[in-house]
Amino acid sequence: MIQLFQVYKSFGSKNPALLDISLTVKKGEFVFITGPSGAGKTTLLKIIFCAERPTSGNALVDGRNLNRIKDQELSLLRRRIGVIFQDFKLLPRRNVFENVALTLEIIGFPLSMIRKKVHQTLRYLSLVNKEGYYPPQLSGGEQQRVAIARAIVNDPLILLADEPTGNLDPDLTMEIMALLKEIHIRGTTVLVATHSQELLKDTTRRIVTLNKGRIV
Ligand SMILES: Nc1ncnc2c1ncn2[C@@H]1O[C@H](COP(=O)(O)OP(=O)(O)OP(=O)(O)O)[C@@H](O)[C@H]1O
Ligand SMILES: [Mg+2]
């Protein structure tokens, strides 16, 4: 599903963000990406989402080479990738329904279909009674569930989650992790970036550790 060959990413400063990364993630896998702050976790996820391009090396996602992909093909591919990014926040002036519906509106789904899919997803994440709330009126855990709803509403092939439990207390962390597991069981390939050792403590999942841009 995801293949990286000797990916190198530099932002111009002395030390590159990613160095010689080769990684294969199979369809239906659940992989943790870990490592200290600045190790390159977010950059790696951004390369996969094509929000950043490799400085050198190749990245293949769902069979497409991201160095050669055309804009139109890229936007189709991105529709199949759900993202929960640290710097990709909910829109504060749109309510829960509108935040989750946005991706589907951009794709151009008919309104009836949008309503159906959004309601289904909000029901699944126990957010139905918050549909009309605005993000500032929600708790941290609720906001994170809305971010997950937005990422999965279009049944993605791949879910990329960057520190999905970042500011949450232990109970909410467990809840979010259980949700990600369920989404994985439904067939989505899931990559979770986290620096939390707590999250990895008892896991049997594959763990990829980065340090200073390298896989260790
Ligand atoms: N847009 C950018 N411009 C310049 N440097 C960047 C940019 N994005 C990331 N970097 C640098 O690349 C390195 C890796 O950053 P990245 O955000 O991938 O780390 P991370 O592992 O996600 O860290 P954290 O756990 O703190 O989120 C850092 O040294 C960072 O300063
Ligand atoms: Mg990061």
The pLDDT tens digits for 37-64 are 999 999 999 999 999 999 999 999 999 9
Domain layout of the chain by residue ranges: 1-80+191-216
Residue 41, H or E segment: helix 41-48
Which of 24-33, 79-88, 143-152 comes out lowest in average pLDDT? Answer: 79-88
177-190, pLDDT tens digit by residue? Answer: 988 999 999 999 99
Q: Could you tell me the distance, in angstroms and rounded to a whole number, from the CA of residue 69 to the centre of ligand 2?
A: 25
pLDDT at 197: 86
The predicted model gives 22-46 an average pLDDT of: 96
Best of 7, 9, 10, 11 to mutate for ligand 1, by most ligand atoms within 8 A of CB?
Answer: 11
Q: Are 146 and 90 in contact (CB under 8 A)?
A: yes
pLDDT of residue 132: 97
172 C-beta neighbours (distance < 10 Å), count:
17
Section 118-136 average pLDDT = 94
Give the mean model confidence (pLDDT) for residues 163-187: 88
Q: Count of CB atoms within 10 A of residue 68's CB?
A: 8
Question: Which pLDDT score is estimated for 87?
Answer: 67
Does the beta carbon of 11 lie inside 6 Å of ligand 1?
Answer: yes
Residues with CB under 5 A from ligand 2 (ion): 41-42
- Model confidence pLDDT, tens digit, residues 61-119: 999 999 999 999 999 999 999 999 876 789 999 999 999 999 899 889 999 999 999 99
Task: Evaluate if pTM is beyond 0.85.
Answer: yes
Average pLDDT over residues 199-205: 88
Q: 61 CB contacts (<8 Å, ≥6 apart)? A: 1, 2, 3, 48, 50, 77, 81, 158
**CA-proximal residue: ligand 1, atom 16 (nearest):** 40
Q: How confident is the model at residue 198 (pLDDT cuts 50, 70, 90)?
A: confident
* CATH number attached to the domain at 1-80+191-216: 3.40.50.300
pLDDT of residue 89: 84
- By DSSP bridging, strand 2-9 and strand 18-25 are antiparallel
Q: With contact defined as beta carbons under 8 Å apart, do 149 and 100 qualify? A: yes
Ligand 2: centre distance to CA 112 (Å): 37
Determine which residue's CA is closest to atom 18 belonging to ligand 1: 40
On average, the pLDDT of the chain sits at 93
How far is 195 from 193, CA to CA, in rounded Å?
7
pLDDT beyond 70 at 151: yes
Query: What is the percentage of the chain residues whose pLDDT exceeds 90?
Result: 79
Nearest CA to ligand 1 atom 28: 38
